[in-house]
Homo-oligomer: A and B are copies of this chain.
């Protein structure tokens, strides 16, 4: 009977519909709609490396200065950065974008940071920005920041970025692996 077939089709449609809604909003942890694994490289200015440096201390506590990271645990240092983003962990690979913004060291007892920054892409393959904010509990193997928005190819996106310290040369260089997991895509 035609009516029954239509009703069955409707039910099927509703099931698909509701499972979509569930996966995008209600389930514990949906699958990312987009994922990027990238690296960025930070070389801090130390008074002697103006040419190579990609970041600089611009704020420091009463007991600090702008060419040496504060003691203890860099607490109170504010750093502005413009770091190359690469597809692999090699500092000399062709950058596919820039990580730009600030980080600050915010704890006396151990090393922790807070980040507010953007990935800025402007190539033929990738245009737009991804904006990040969140705490970086550096002593942990991985830690999650929020993707709070995006523009261009990443219009209105949201998600999570999992950071891993991929290399760390005290007071000179660090490299972060960023696993960007986007859960809202347009």
Residues of A within 8 A of B (CB): 1, 3-4, 6-7, 10-11, 13-14, 17-18, 21, 24-30, 45, 47, 56-62, 64-67, 75-78, 80-82, 98, 100-102, 104-108, 112, 114, 116-118, 120, 122, 128-129, 131, 133-135, 137, 144-152, 155-156, 158-160, 183-184, 186
Contact = CB atoms under 8 A, between A and B. Distances in A.
B62 A47 contact: yes
B45 A61 contact: yes
Contacts of A77: 58
Contacts of A26: 186
A69 B120 CA distance: 24
Please state the number of chain copies in the assembly: 3
A134 B147 contact: no
A149 B133 contact: yes
A114 B102 contact: yes
16 contacts: A3-B3, A17-B18, A25-B186, A26-B186, A45-B61, A45-B62, A56-B62, A58-B78, A61-B66, A75-B80, A76-B80, A98-B107, A114-B117, A118-B134, A129-B146, A147-B149
A7 B75 CA distance: 65
Contacts of A45: 61-62
Contacts of A160: 151, 155-156
Q: Which 4 interchain pairs have the tightest Cβ spacing?
A: A146-B149, A144-B151, A118-B135, A62-B66
A64 B24 CA distance: 48
Nearest to A144: B151
Given A82-B108, A151-B160, A156-B159, 14 more contacts: A3-B3, A21-B21, A27-B186, A29-B186, A62-B65, A78-B78, A78-B102, A82-B106, A116-B133, A128-B144, A129-B144, A131-B146, A134-B151, A148-B149
